[in-house]
Amino acid sequence: MINSMIIGKYVPSDSIIHRMDPRAKLLLVFIYVFIVFLANNSVTYIVLTMFTLVLLFLSRIPIAFILRGLKPILWIVLVTFLLHMFMTKEGDLLYQWGRLAIYEGGIKQGIFISLRFLLFIMITTLLTLTTTPIEVTDGVESLLAPLKKLHVPVHELALMMSISLRFIPTLLEETEKIMKAQAARGVDFSGGSFSERVKAIVSLLVPLFINSFKRAEELATAMEARGYRGGEGRTKFRQLTWKPLDTFCLIAVFVLAMILFVLRS
Amino acid sequence: MDIIFQQVEHVYHANSPFARRALYDVNITIESGSYVAIIGHTGSGKSTLLQHLNGLLQPTNGKVIVGEQAITSGKRQKQLKPLRKKVGIVFQFPEHQLFEETVEKDICFGPMNFGVPEEEAKQKARELLSLVGLPEEVLTKSPFDLSGGQMRRVAIAGVLAMEPEVIVLDEPTAGLDPRGRTEIMEMFYRLHHEKKLTTILVTHHMEDAAKYADHMIVMHKGTVWKTGTPQQIFHDPDALLQIGLDVPETVLFKQKLEKKLGVEIPSPCLTLEQVIEGVEKLFSRVNGHDQ
């Protein structure tokens, strides 16, 4: 279960995508999410898919890795596809079986929408596969910095983000440990009646929450002991540098948006 | 109820790029009613080994036989529950498993999972509380209002309440003060002695292993490095030190004394009492020669 979760797992490498400034990558993904909606016919979808595949290729991440990441959401895509296939009543009637009817437009719409879904996931997976969580938070903090003028606690938000990312593996490990301890006391996590299942979950969640609160307090104390007092006047060990490559990538996305805008029907 | 490991191997995340062999070629026999200490460096496979004892992990190869029941690789076995009642495991920092509103409910949780009626479980909880050295008024308190050491005792009572035939202890005294350590270790030894409870102790504390166990299993890099009585195991302290393990201070003392005086002390010197005995014998012999 834990191993199939690839979202959020960083794969170290030295590709162009890895070397990009995290701010550029975040902006790229942000813009991409919007321009996906520009595509509405075969040509635009082909252009969009090509662009995404080129990015994947440039990241040098084994394709198997990305496919494995897509696995958990595959059924959602499938349901989306089927829903659109049966619900859209446009174009020629292709097949009729009782009340179920499949139209040409339905198939087209189904493919488009599931493709949109897949592209979304692929691009965000690509971001987390090529960017360490620390880079992502640094990038977010830097991009949101202007909001500080509006008294938005940007540094604190970024810190919260990095702390929660940091503790995901710890929590998973602890969950496994507590599940084992309770299983040794006769809890059956895989079966039983409804009330037994509720009891089993309670026996897992209560210790998990209590330990998390304890850990949060300890962490806060440890941070204070090491002189942490918020983002004011704090310097950074890792400096983000914006390179020509980053500008180029952003221009490429804008060009893509323009192409899509021209080609869409 | 004997426990037998035959050619046991365990690979974590088998058939994936993250595959890691934690255990291989493990052949051991733990006799009913014995007190066995498992020692080994961090990452030597001790924890993996102990999780095989009640089917929390299944061997990826080989066979674990507990009493009548054999656990092999392959499909998940449905009939693990009776096994889990027979083999109780006190995990490291067992206080992390407490979750009920009252101490009484938490101790009753295990036995009631195995179908013991509530009244009987409550009766059991009361008995066990005094056994682990807690006053009876604790029963109605929330386990989270207790001190760390008291929580540990409650958790241990919760495992003992299942009345297992085998009890597995994974570093049961980690993080306790010296007095609490001795009290808990003595309590387990008493249980072992009085109720003939098969006890398996996983520990870094060589003094405890030497003092209580009648058989030892030394793990190294995922397999059994040596088995034998504490006397046999600690007979060659240098070999143990070489694989990164400690030996009891008394054994080191004996070794140094022997080297310095150029004599051999016949006593095994596993405990302070044996050292005193050995040194006394030595001096009476020396005195005897002088006269």
Q: What is the DSSP string of chain A?
A: --TT--TT-------HHHHS-HHHHHHHHHHHHHHGGG--SHHHHHHHHHHHHHHHHHHT--HHHHHHHHGGGHHHHHHHHHHHHHH---S-EEEEETTEEEEHHHHHHHHHHHHHHHHHHHHHHHHHHHS-HHHHHHHHHHHHGGGGGGT--HHHHHHHHHHHHHHHHHHHHHHHHHHHHHHHTT--SS-S-HHHHHHHHHHHHHHHHHHHHHHHHHHHHHHHHTT---STT---SS-----HHHHHHHHHHHHHHHHHHHH--
The CATH number of domain B3-247, selected from 1.10.10.10, 3.30.2320.50, 3.40.50.300, 1.10.275.10: 3.40.50.300
B117: its two tokens: 């009626």
pLDDT digits (tens, 9 = 90+) for B63-72: 999 988 888 8
pLDDT digits (tens, 9 = 90+) for B121-159: 999 999 999 999 999 999 999 999 999 899 999 999 999
Q: What is the pLDDT of residue B43?
A: 86
> For residues B230 and B214, what is the distance between their CA atoms, to the nearest angstrom?
7
Q: Which residues of A50-72 are buried (b: 16+ CB within 10 A; e: fewer)?
A: ebbeebbebbebeeeebeebbee
In chain A, the percentage of residues whose pLDDT exceeds 90 is: 42
> For residues B205 and B247, what is the distance between their CA atoms, to the nearest angstrom?
9
Beta bridge partners of B3: B30, B66
In a 3-state reduction of DSSP, which class is residue B259?
helix
**Residue B191's closest CA among B227, B148, B157?**
B157
Is the Cα torsion angle B43, B47, B52, B58 positive or negative in sign?
A: negative
Q: In chain B, which among 51-110 make CB contacts under 8 A with chain A?
A: 51, 54, 56, 76, 81, 84-85, 88-89, 91, 94, 96-99, 109-110
CB A27 within 8 A of CB A246: no
Q: Does position A7 have pLDDT exceeding 80, yes or no?
A: no
H or E segment and range at residue B43: none
CB B2 within 8 A of CB B182: no
Please report which confidence band the pLDDT of residue B89 belongs to, taking 50, 70 and 90 as the band edges: very high
Please report which confidence band the pLDDT of residue A47 belongs to, taking 50, 70 and 90 as the band edges: very high
What is the rounded average pLDDT of the residues B218-228? Answer: 94
Q: What is the pLDDT of residue B290?
A: 52
CB B214 within 8 A of CB B238: no
Min Cα separation A124/chain B (Å): 23
Q: What is the pLDDT of residue B122?
A: 94
> For residues B45 and B39, what is the distance between their CA atoms, to the nearest angstrom?
10
**Residue A6's closest CA among A51, A73, A53, A55?**
A73
Residue of A nearest to B18 (CA): A3
> For residues B73 and B77, what is the distance between their CA atoms, to the nearest angstrom?
9
> For residues A175 and B84, what is the distance between their CA atoms, to the nearest angstrom?
19
Return mean pLDDT, chain B.
Answer: 89
CB A29 within 8 A of CB A140: no
Q: Amino acid identity of A73? A: I
Q: Does position B17 have pLDDT exceeding 70, yes or no?
A: no
Q: Which residue has the tokens 């009290």?
A: B183
A211 touches chain B (CB under 8 A): yes
In chain B, the percentage of residues whose pLDDT exceeds 70 is: 96
Return mean pLDDT, chain A.
Answer: 87
Greatest extent of chain A over all pairs of C-alpha atoms, in Å: 72
* Residue B51 to residue A180, Cβ atoms within 8 A: yes
What is the rounded average pLDDT of the residues A191-202? Answer: 87
Q: Does position A264 have pLDDT exceeding 90, yes or no?
A: no
pLDDT digits (tens, 9 = 90+) for A201-250: 999 999 999 999 999 999 999 999 998 887 777 888 888 899 999 999 99
Complex ipTM over 0.85: yes
Q: What is the pLDDT of residue A194?
A: 87
What is the rounded average pLDDT of the residues B8-22? Answer: 83
Residue of A nearest to B51 (CA): A180
Q: Does position B277 have pLDDT exceeding 90, yes or no?
A: no
Torsion, CA A168, CA A172, CA A178, CA A179, rounded to 10: 150
String of DSSP letters for B208-221: HHHHH-SEEEEEET
> For residues B212 and B38, what is the distance between their CA atoms, to the nearest angstrom?
12
* Residue A185 to residue B158, Cβ atoms within 8 A: yes
* Residue A181 to residue B96, Cβ atoms within 8 A: yes
pLDDT digits (tens, 9 = 90+) for B167-187: 999 999 988 899 999 999 999
Among A8-12, A34-38, B117-121, B261-265, the range scoring the smallest mean pLDDT is A8-12
Residues whose CB falls within 8 Å of the CB of residue B205, separated by 6 or more in sequence, listed in order: B173
Q: Does position B291 have pLDDT exceeding 70, yes or no?
A: no
Beta bridge partners of B63: B6, B72
* Residue B54 to residue A184, Cβ atoms within 8 A: yes
Q: Does position A83 have pLDDT exceeding 80, yes or no?
A: yes
* Residue A206 to residue B99, Cβ atoms within 8 A: yes
Residue of A nearest to B156 (CA): A185
Nearest to B84 among A174, A184, A190 (CB): A184
* Residue B162 to residue A3, Cβ atoms within 8 A: no
Q: Is the model more confident about B138 or about B262?
A: B138
Please report which confidence band the pLDDT of residue B273 belongs to, taking 50, 70 and 90 as the band edges: confident
In chain A, the percentage of residues whose pLDDT exceeds 70 is: 97
Residue B29 is classified by DSSP as E
> For residues A181 and A93, what is the distance between their CA atoms, to the nearest angstrom?
58
pLDDT digits (tens, 9 = 90+) for B30-54: 999 999 999 999 889 999 999 999 9
A254: its two tokens: 């804008």
CB B65 within 8 A of CB B6: yes
Q: Where in chain B is the domain with CATH 3.40.50.300?
A: 3-247
> Where do runs of H (alpha helix) occur along B161-233?
178-195, 206-212, 230-233
Q: What is the pLDDT of residue A185?
A: 92
* Residue B84 to residue A182, Cβ atoms within 8 A: no
Q: Does position B57 have pLDDT exceeding 50, yes or no?
A: yes
Q: What is the pLDDT of residue B223?
A: 94
Q: In chain A, which among 160-199 make CB contacts under 8 A with chain B?
A: 174, 177-178, 180-188, 190
CB B92 within 8 A of CB B152: no
What is the rounded average pLDDT of the residues A145-163? Answer: 88
Q: Is the model more confident about B91 or about B265?
A: B91
Q: Which residue has the tokens 């540990």?
A: B152
